[in-house]
Amino acid sequence: MKIIGIMLVFLSSAFAGFYMSKRFKKRIQILEEINELIISIKIIIEAESPTVDELFYSLSNQKKLDNFFIPKTAFLCPDYKRRIASECKSSSFLKEDDKQLFIGFINELGTAYMEGQISIINGYIKQFENKIAKLVSEQNSKCRMYKSFGVLAGAFISIILS
């Protein structure tokens, strides 16, 4: 019975390391989705010069919001800024600065003339690209570290328990 308990402790610790690695990869994936959405928004604004409501309606018609980490209904409701902010804050994969950056982008939409809006969007695209590039460069080492630490912590706890 003791051996089964030790094995369960070891496996749970090892799976925690694998979970943290998966969580890191999911964060990168969501940031890439956000960046793709911002680029799509830029293209629509340059082509059509829509209002914010028309912009989100166009994105939903193009199916850009279907697999996004925030539900499509948050973008289409009248109080979209508050809904998107609350949905974004509930995401467990993004860090607080990622959330604030995306919420800041949403709050900036529709606040300037078209050329100003495009320059603001370009700034956010650059910020997200820099963040993604930094995380991708760290991905292999951090994921390996999370997995190794989980296994080593499980082995250490198992040795102590035995």
Expressed as residue numbers, the domain containing 75 is 2-161
Residue 62 identity (one-letter amino acid): Q
Cβ atoms < 10 Å from Cβ of 104: 13
pLDDT tens for 24-76 read: 999 999 999 999 999 999 999 888 888 888 888 888 888 888 888 888 888 88
Mean pLDDT is highest, among 62-66, 140-144, 156-160, for 140-144
Give the H/E segment covering residue 160: helix 114-161
For residues 71-86, one letter each, b for 16 or more C-beta atoms within 10 angstroms of the residue's C-beta and e for the rest, the string is: ebebbeeeebeebbbe
In the chain, what are the helix, strand and coil shares in percent, each to the nearest 5?
80, 0, 20
pTM, entire model: 0.86
Domain count across the chain: 1
Residues in Cβ contact with 50 at an 8 Å cutoff, skipping those fewer than 6 apart? 44, 58
pLDDT of 137 > 90? The answer is: yes
